[in-house]
Amino acid sequence: MGLPDSSQDLTSEMEVDAFRRIFPLRFFERHLSESLRPDARPLDKARDTIVNLGLVSTADGSALAKIGSTTMLAAIRMEVMTPSTESPDEGCIAVEFHMPPICSPIVRPGRPAEAAPVISKRLSDTILSSGMIDLKELCLVSGKAAWMGYLDIYCLDADGALFDAALLSAVAAFSNLQIPVVALNDNGRIVAISDEKEQDNASIIEEEAVNKEKRKLTLKNIPFSLTCILHKNYILADPTTEEESIMDTLVTVVLDSSDQMVSFYKSGGEALAYSSSIKSCVELARKRAKELKEILGEMDVD
């Protein structure tokens, strides 16, 4: 890629890679003035997104989501527990986001990444407040037994827009989730039945809430998110780690399938968000939500 001619500074004598390392902001701004980014993406385009379902055979539901290089593996494990007294006919979901050292050179073993518990909480808030999952569907026997879903998301490659990829993998994992078959045994406790056992065992009592076959959850109001960078007059959709480290103002918009805003998250940053930027970010998020809906739709998700 040829460097533009400028006689005054030493950029014309420097190699592109060196210029990128030494003057990262100027390198990016040269691209932004042409409405492009170094990976030849237009400013409002997200990276290629791939979703794969059902990779982890030991989990009840799993998915791998890749946005560009950012890779997230989500897995759900269901366990039976007693529901709380305040909501006796509701189950529970526990979300945990892990950043193992494999994902980034900044993360070292023994010291958890700063971003991990924050993304964990944001995911948990987003999934629960969007109403994607009806917790009442997770009930088995009212007041006595309900499903607890442990959702673990592992970041395998952290290359920017971690929240977007994590949310996508969580949604895909829930769509892939098959609730295991259980029955009530003599002692009044719920036991899991493996696939090989027969159902005509005399000691098994069938309650109306106990499922006879593996079932899937109905997902409504699926949340889709898009992270953007605000820099001067530019809005960059779906940033990479390099872009995030140079331009530090990130805005994450989460919209659900009925075009309601689940979350508008902006945490500091040099640039302030004015009404025009907010509107543009929401528009970009709408377009992205359509794209993601199509991608999930190809995976046979409702």
Partner 1 sequence: MEIDREDGRTPNQLRPLACSRNILHRSHGSASWSQGDTKVLAAVYGPKAGTKKNENPEKACFEVIWKPKTGQIGKVEKEYELILKRTIQSICVLTVNPNTTTSVIIQVVHDDGSLLPCAINAACAALVDAGIPMKHLAVAICCCLADNGYAVLDPNKLEEKKMTALAYLVFPNTTLSVLPEGSSLVEDEPVEHGIITSVTHGVMSVDDYFLCVENGRAATASLSAFFRKNFQQSQRDPSKAG
Closest to partner 1 by CB, 190 or 230:
230
CB of 244 to partner 1, least distance (A): 12
Closest to partner 1 by CB, 38 or 269:
269
CA atoms in the 13 A half-sphere facing the CB of 298:
9
CB of 266 to partner 1, least distance (A): 5
Pairing of strands 70-81, 61-67: antiparallel
Residue 179's φ and ψ, nearest 5 degrees, are -75, 130
Q: What whole-number distance in Å separates Cα of residue 300 and Cα of residue 219?
A: 12
Q: What whole-number distance in Å separates Cα of residue 96 and Cα of residue 117?
A: 8
Other beta carbons less than 10 A from residue 163's beta carbon:
23
Beta bridge partners of 238: none
Closest to partner 1 by CB, 124 or 211:
124
CB of 155 to partner 1, least distance (A): 16
Closest to partner 1 by CB, 18 or 261:
261
CB of 189 to partner 1, least distance (A): 31
CB of 282 to partner 1, least distance (A): 6
CB of 253 to partner 1, least distance (A): 9
Closest to partner 1 by CB, 14 or 273:
273
Sites of contact with partner 1 (CB under 8 A): 106, 114-115, 117-118, 120-122, 124-125, 129-131, 221, 249, 256, 259-276, 278, 282
* Burial category of 208 from C-beta neighbours within 10 Å (exposed 0-12, middle 13-18, buried 19 and up): exposed
Closest to partner 1 by CB, 112 or 188:
112
Instruction: Kindly give the interhelix angle for 162-176 and 275-298, rounded to the nearest 10 degrees.
Output: 30
Q: What whole-number distance in Å separates Cα of residue 286 and Cα of residue 302?
A: 19
